[in-house]
Structure 1
Amino acid sequence: MGAPPARIDAPARRSASAHLNRAQKAAIIVRFLLNEGTDVPLTDLPEDLQARLTTQMGSMRYVDRGTLADVVAEFAHELEGMGLTFPRGVAGALTALDGRISPQTAMRLRKEAGVRQYGDPWTLVKTAEPGALLPILEGESPEVSAVVLSKLEVARAADLLGRLPGPVARRITYAISQTGSVSPTAVDRIGLALAAQLHDVPESAFTTGAVERVGAILNSSTSITRDEMMEGLEETDQDFAALVRRAIFTFEHIPARIRPADIPRIVREVEQPVLVKALSGALAGDLASAAEYILENMGERMADALREEITETGTVRARDADTAMREVINAIRRLEAAEEITLQEQEDDAGAA
């Protein structure tokens, strides 16, 4: 028998979408997704690509089922093979690395990239705090402020309007009636200017304000040092001194600012010898009411044991008592920072020392 005839493979089927370029395929995919009810965020694309896509879709008329199936299959295959995507441009990279690079580097890159890094600037404006927007609304012309309020959610716009001085609010309200002819380009320019203004805030080397920093330092100082510093602040700047007094929390503030239910948690945070010295020193001096407040709001058995130990300990040196009381305050601050307790606001700290 002769050799079997050689196998002849059938020619590969030519793809129905082979004649399409990438722009046409992109238009088909977008049209298909829109028909399926998918929200396609085309605004994330650069403006030139948005324009090309729109023009391409406008020039196309009909695509048969075979071509559509091939384009969708090719698109799905590309998605499956995609391992990693990177953010588009410096703006996207800054967003992805937010909090992971130094503020100084981020600020320099923002300036080098220009204001267009914000993408849609109104996203930043809409999420800005009222305290950041109010000075802008008061400083800008009524026409610009009217555009800003028109772009915000109704509730936020009403809130901002209510915080503005009456004459300013009335001028802006009237200007809103004149915004019908404002072009999208003008709105975009206003948004970019506002986004740049909101971002143009000097970076600070400190995460807390001066009042909080001074208050924290004086909290950890001895009572003698604290009193001397406060006297100096009163002579230099009474307004600043008043704010610092409100930031200071010392042993004498415990009855006014600590809830009775939080006392047992605080007592567990302090070693018993330290607590005995603190209470002994407080009972022997001007802070007896604070010591009694602590003893009255813990378990009765533990309070009795502490009272006995205080009696046996006798007189405690003022320096040791002061150190022990500061350790109690530090324990309270740690619990507050961990959100295990909450300090109550005090209406008037004018007499605090």
Structure 2
Amino acid sequence: MKAITPLARSGAAARLTRAQKAAIIVRFLINEGAEIALTDLPDGLQARLTTQMGSMRYVDRGTLADVVAEFAQELEGMGLTFPRGVAGALSALGGRISPQTAARLRKEAGVRQYGDPWHQIKEADLSALVPIVERESIEVAAVLLSKLDVSRAADLLGKLRGDLARRITYAVSQTGSVSPEAVDRIGLALAAELHDIPETAFAQGAVERVGAILNFSPAATRDDVLTGLDETDQEFAALVRRAIFTFVHIPDRVKPTDIPRITREVDQAILVTALAGAVTSGLTPASDFILSNMGKRMAEAIREEMQERGRVRLRDAEEAMTAVVNAVRSLEAAGEITYVAADEEEQSHD
């Protein structure tokens, strides 16, 4: 019997092609139990690698050692890698370039906008998938249902109308002849629809923007604007009132245990002016709330200074109270304190 000749002898790795070396490395890693994401390679490279592996038989230990050593040396000498194509570059730059530029580049290059579309769909909330299923054809919905995990598919069916769920379930039996290319195109279309959120010029909603503006407005201006909003759109006015946080809201929105942390952020002279001005302006509950939840000695000292200060001009009072409110907002934004939740606030008034 004729002996089988190895693909290469020890020391002959230099004569192997890069495709052969790649096949050897992939086969070696698979044998070692490594998980290799070959699906990330372009289809052409996947096909070439598969064909190359199919044409090879075996290599001796010396050649394997040479190829692995060369591969390791290349890895050690690699300083930086770049993503493949525009799609990879856009993923790497996600959040660092404007949405408008990213959308234009995707459109011009005709690349996938969302990577693996089915991964995006499988991770989506069912509440987002239900309206899509209701809008799409039964055949597309059947493909979607088939691609989901069994438990999520069952949950999705449970959220649909009975007649629609029955029609989709029957259509699943007709999906056996659907080609992989069709499934891929359906996934791309569904992912695009799932993420088809219109771009907006503002990062915050109208309620948050109006609330933020009124937070820094004088009390007279704020009250006048809110009165006008009440006459125009009571629902919107109610939402804006909820978004506003001013000195008067401190007892309802700030936890008593956070008061010492807040007062340390405010110069004592400004705090005295704010509390004295609050009493003058009819905001005694807010002033009392702050005083009753700070250290006893400090509260007594501030009360004495408030008596010595006497009546405070409205303008000075508003500036001082704004400084206190800004300290609260800054600490909340930094995560050092948290506002009282709406349900806790309601219970406190019961």
TM-score (structure 1 length as normaliser): 0.84
State the 1:66 CA deviation.
3.4
Q: Which moved more, 1:159-168 or 1:281-290?
A: 159-168
* Counterpart in the other structure of 1:9: none
Matches within 5 A, 1:9-20: 15-17=11-13, 20=16
* Counterpart in the other structure of 2:92: 96
* Counterpart in the other structure of 2:67: 71
Change (3 A) 1:177 1:294: farther
* Counterpart in the other structure of 2:54: 58
Q: Of the candidates 317, 328, 353, which is equivalent to residue 313 of structure 2? A: 317
Aligned length: 337
| CA distance, structure 2, for counterparts of residue 54 and residue 86 of structure 1 | 25
| CA distance, structure 2, for counterparts of residue 39 and residue 107 of structure 1 | 33
State the 1:310 CA deviation.
1.2
- 2:17 partner amino acid: N
Q: Does 1:218 align with 2:214?
A: yes
| CA distance, structure 2, for counterparts of residue 18 and residue 290 of structure 1 | 82
Q: Which moved more, 1:251-260 or 1:146-155?
A: 146-155
State the 1:105 CA deviation.
2.0
Matches within 5 A, 1:125-144: 125-128=121-124, 132-144=128-140
Q: Does 1:209 align with 2:213?
A: no
Deviations 1:247-276 (A, max 9, x none): 111222211111110011111112222222
Q: Of the candidates 14, 19, 24, which is equivalent to residue 23 of structure 1? A: 19
* Counterpart in the other structure of 1:286: 282
State the 1:142 CA deviation.
4.0
Unpaired stretches in structure 1, ≥5 consecutive residues: 1-12
State the 1:180 CA deviation.
4.9
- 2:85 partner amino acid: G
* Counterpart in the other structure of 2:328: 332
| CA distance, structure 2, for counterparts of residue 117 and residue 19 of structure 1 | 41
| CA distance, structure 2, for counterparts of residue 106 and residue 95 of structure 1 | 10
Q: Is the 8 A contact 2:247 2:321 kept in 1?
A: yes
State the 1:229 CA deviation.
0.7
* Counterpart in the other structure of 1:195: 191
State the 1:304 CA deviation.
1.2
Matches within 5 A, 1:154-169: none
Q: Which moved more, 1:57-66 or 1:291-300?
A: 57-66
Change (3 A) 1:118 1:257: closer
Change (3 A) 1:309 1:39: same
Deviations 1:187-209 (A, max 9, x none): 21111112333444333332211
| CA distance, structure 1, for counterparts of residue 67 and residue 58 of structure 2 | 14
Unpaired stretches in structure 2, ≥5 consecutive residues: 1-8
Q: Of the candidates 248, 251, 261, which is equivalent to residue 265 of structure 1? A: 261
* Counterpart in the other structure of 1:236: 232
Deviations 1:158-205 (A, max 9, x none): 665566566655655555565555432222111111233344433333
- 1:74 partner amino acid: E
Q: Is the 8 A contact 1:42 1:50 kept in 2?
A: yes
* Counterpart in the other structure of 1:5: none
Q: Which moved more, 1:289-298 or 1:152-161?
A: 152-161
* Counterpart in the other structure of 1:113: 109
State the 1:313 CA deviation.
1.1
Q: Of the candidates 294, 299, 315, which is equivalent to residue 303 of structure 1? A: 299
State the 1:131 CA deviation.
5.7
- 1:335 partner amino acid: L
| CA distance, structure 2, for counterparts of residue 133 and residue 84 of structure 1 | 39
- 1:314 partner amino acid: G
Change (3 A) 1:191 1:256: same
RMSD value over aligned CA atoms? 2.8
TM-score (structure 2 length as normaliser): 0.85
Q: Does 1:40 align with 2:36?
A: yes
1:275 match: secondary structure: helix
| CA distance, structure 2, for counterparts of residue 165 and residue 222 of structure 1 | 53
* Counterpart in the other structure of 1:123: 119
2:342 match: secondary structure: coil
- 1:66 partner amino acid: G
State the 1:29 CA deviation.
1.6
1:85 match: secondary structure: coil
| CA distance, structure 1, for counterparts of residue 143 and residue 306 of structure 2 | 69
Q: Is the 8 A contact 1:115 1:196 kept in 2?
A: no
Q: Which moved more, 1:63-72 or 1:21-30?
A: 63-72
Q: Is the 8 A contact 1:251 1:290 kept in 2?
A: yes
State the 1:18 CA deviation.
5.1
Q: Which moved more, 1:19-28 or 1:288-297?
A: 19-28
| CA distance, structure 1, for counterparts of residue 130 and residue 75 of structure 2 | 46
Q: Which moved more, 1:86-95 or 1:104-113?
A: 104-113
